[in-house]
Structure 1
Amino acid sequence: MDSSRGPSLYPLHRCKTLHIVGVEFMVDNLRKHVRSCGLIKKVDLVITSPLFRTMQTAVGVFGGEGYTDRMDAVPLMVANAGNSGRPAISSLDCPPIVAVELCREHLIESDEDVLWKANIRETKEELEARGTTFMNWLWMRKEKEIAIVTHSGFLFHALSAFGNDCHPLVKKEICKRFANCELRSMVIVDKSMSGSDASTTNYPGKIPPGPDLPSDVVGENNMKKDVPNSVFS
C-alpha cells in the first residue's frame, strides 16, 4: 500500500504539539480563544522572540490574570509596559515563558543584537537554516506541548523547509503566511529516533503461556481447574 496516499501512524511519544502564533496585535481576542478552547491548560511552555511586541503578545495571551501589589509573585509585565496603556499581568497560574534568539525576526535593527552583522541582512537561506536549528532545539526539549510566539516573516521562511513529503495542499497549509495574530496547531514527528523519551502511556501487557485457545475452550479448561478431577474422569 502506498502510505503517502493515506493516513500515517506514529507513536505518540515521538511527537510534539506546537501551537504557533504569528504576531501583530489583537491580543485580547486570542487570549479569550486559548482559554475558551482549553489550550491554556495544555501548554507546558511558551517560547517567544526577544523583540518587545512578541514578548508583549506572549505575556498578553498566555500570562496570568491582572496583577496587584498584594500578590505573592512578581508581575510578568509591569503596567503600561512600552507605553501600551495595558495593566500589569500576573505570573501566577500560567506556563513558563522563555525568550529565545533563534526565533526572532530576520531584519536585525541594532548592533547590540546577538545575530547582528554590519550592513548585512540575513539571507533567505540563513533564515531557513536558523528555522531548522530552532525546530531541532524544540524537539530536544522535554515539554510535549509548546506555544511559539514569533514573527510571521520568520515563520514563513522557517516552515518552508517542512511538508515536502506531504500532499501539496498540506504543504501549502504548513507554509502559508500567518495572518494577524493567527494561531495554528501542528505536530512535529521524530522519524530518526533522536532525542525521543520513553512513552508515559504505553503498557507492555503480557502474553499468557501456551497456545492461543478459543474463548470457549479456555472457559472449559478453567472450569476443570475449579472442579475435582473425579467429576471429569
Structure 2
Amino acid sequence: MAGTMGREGRVFPEYDSDGFVHNEASGFSLYMQERCKRIFFIRHAEGFHNLAERESTVVPKVNILLAENSGDKYVDAKLTPFGEQQCAKLKANIRGDTVWGFDKPLNLDLVVCSPLTRCLQTAVLSLGDPGAPGAPPFIVNELCRERIADYTCDRRRKRSVLKADFPSINFDLVKDEEDTMFLNQKEGDSTEGEAKCSERGVEFLKWLCGRPEIHIAVVTNSVFLKSLFSQFGSNLSREDQECIHKFPANAEMRSIMLCAHRKLASTKEEGEQPPSKKQKTLWNGA
C-alpha cells in the first residue's frame, strides 16, 4: 500500500491514525500492510541447563541451576549435542515446504537474538551463517532475553567474549561489558516479576515495529515468550489461544503476524546499512 494516495490526498505511510479496523461481530480484522510484520519466534534448542534440570535430584529440579547447588557451571549455558541436532532438524524443516511455500524458505530480512549463548548458537545453526554473502543482519537485543531470576544459566557472558565467539553478529545494542541487567536485578529483587517481564516484552514489540524489515526471526527464551504471548489472544478461538499460550518446546518456531495499531518511531540504528536485494538473493542460510 506504500505510495498509494490515502485519505485527504495523503500518502498512507504518513497517515498516523489507528492503522486497523476490527469487527468483533464478524470475527475479522483489517490492518494496513505497513503496520504488519511476520515474526518467526524461535525458542533456543536444548542447553546443558535444560539437561541438568531434567536429570536433577534436587527438589524442585530447577534449583540445580542455583549458584548454591552448581556454582557457575551453568552460567550462560551452551547447547548440548542433542540441542545441535534439534537445530539441524529445524533448519531442514525451514528449508522444506512445511513452513514456507515460496522459493527462498529463508527469506528473512532480519534476525534478532537474545544475548544468551544458547540463543545465538540456535540462530546460527538453525537459520544460517550471518557472515555469508547476502545474509540479513543478525542483531542482539537484551529486551528479548530470558526473564531474570536466581538461575545462573540466565546470566550472559561478557560482551567482548560473546563478540569474539560470534564475530558476524551485531552487538551494538548491548551497551555494557558485564551483564548489568542480571547483576542489578540481583542487587534488588532477586527475580524479575512476570509483570515486569511482560512490560519488557511490549517494549520489544515496539522496537520490532520500529524496524524497517518485514520478515523477522526472533531467537529467544521460554519464559520470556510465555510472558509475552500470555498478554494476547483473549478474543481468539480456543484452539488459537491454546496454540499461542502453550509453553514453547526447545527449538520450536511459531509464525506470528505482528500488527501495530499506530505508527511507531523508527528504531533503526544510525548508520545501519541493510543488504541490497541483489545481495539477499545470494543467501540461502548456508
Place the TM-score, normalised by the shorter chain, in its bin: 0.5 to 0.7
Q: CA deviation at 1:62?
A: 1.5
Tell me how far apart the structure 2 counterparts of residues 137 and 178 of structure 1 sit (CA, whole Å): 22
Structure 1 spans left out of the alignment, 5+ residues: 65-75, 77-89, 197-233
CA drift of 1:195 comes to: 4.8
Identity of aligned residues (%): 33
Which of 57, 80, 88 does residue 28 from structure 1 map onto? 88
Report the CA distance shift for 1:192/1:27 in structure 2 as closer, same or farther (over 3 A): same
Matches within 5 A, 1:50-65: 50-64=115-129
Partner in structure 2 of residue 216 of structure 1: none
Give the Cα separation in 2 of the matches to 1:157 and 1:8.
Answer: 24
Counterpart position of 1:3: 24
Of residues 29, 38, 54 in structure 2, which corresponds to 1:17?
Answer: 38
Structure 2 residue corresponding to 1:153, chosen from 223, 226, 245: 223
1:94 correspondence with 2:135:
yes
Q: Which amino acid aligns with 2:132?
A: S
Change (3 A) 1:2 1:126: closer
Q: What is the deviation of 1:5?
A: 4.1
Moved more, 103-112 or 154-163: 103-112
Deviation at 1:164, TM superposition (A): 2.7
Residue deviations 1:96-149 (CA, integer Å, cap 9, x gap): 211111111113534931312225111111111111111111111111110000
Secondary structure, aligned partner of 1:18: strand
The CA distance in 1 between the partners of 2:143 and 2:23, in whole Å, is 37
Q: Does residue 105 of the first structure (1) align with residue 146 of the second (2)?
A: yes
**Contact in 1 for aligned 2:106/2:127 (Cα 8 Å):** no
Instruction: Select 1:127's aligned residue among 169, 194, 197.
Output: 197
Q: Supply the distance in 1 between the matched residues of 2:261 and 2:116 (Cα, whole angstroms).
A: 33
- Work out the CA distance in 2 between the residues paired with 1:56 and 1:126: 27
Q: 1:60-117, CA deviations, whole angstroms, 9 ceiling, x for partnerless residues? A: 11123xxxxxxxxxxx5xxxxxxxxxxxxx5334322111111111135349313122
- Verify the 8 A CA contact 2:206 2:264 in the aligned structure 1: no
Unaligned runs of 5+ in 2: 1-21, 46-82, 157-177, 267-286
Quickly say closer, same or farther: Cα 1:49–1:5, change in 2 above 3 A.
same
- The structure-2 alpha-carbon separation of the partners of 1:91 and 1:194, relative to structure 1 and needing over 3 Å to count, comes to same
Equivalent of 1:114, from 145, 155, 180?
180
Structure 1 CA distance, aligned partners of 2:209 and 2:135?
Answer: 22
8 Å contact from structure 2 (residues 113, 220) kept in 1? yes
Q: Give me the whole-angstrom Cα distance separating, in 2, the residues matched to 1:22 and 1:4.
A: 35
- TM-score normalized by structure 2? 0.55
Q: CA RMSD in A?
A: 2.4
> Could you state the TM-score of these two structures normalised by the residue count of structure 1?
0.66
Residue 21 of structure 1 contacts residue 184 of structure 1 at CA under 8 Å; is this kept in 2? Answer: yes
Poorly superposed stretches of 4+, deviation over 6 Å: none
Distance (whole Å) between structure 2 residues aligned to residue 56 and residue 142 of structure 1 = 25
Q: Closer, same or farther in 2 for the Cα pair 1:103/1:4, shift >3 Å? A: farther
In the alignment, the residues of structure 2 paired with residue 47 and residue 56 of structure 1 have an alpha-carbon distance, to the nearest angstrom, of 12
Aligned residues: 172
CA distance in 1, matches of 2:192, 2:36: 31
Q: Report if the CA contact (8 A) 2:23-2:29 is conserved.
A: no
Q: How far apart are residue 192 of structure 1 and its match?
A: 2.7
CA distance in 2, matches of 1:59, 1:123: 30
Contact 1:62 1:94 in 2 (8 A): no
1:207-232 per-residue CA deviation (whole Å, 9 max, x = no partner) reads xxxxxxxxxxxxxxxxxxxxxxxxxx
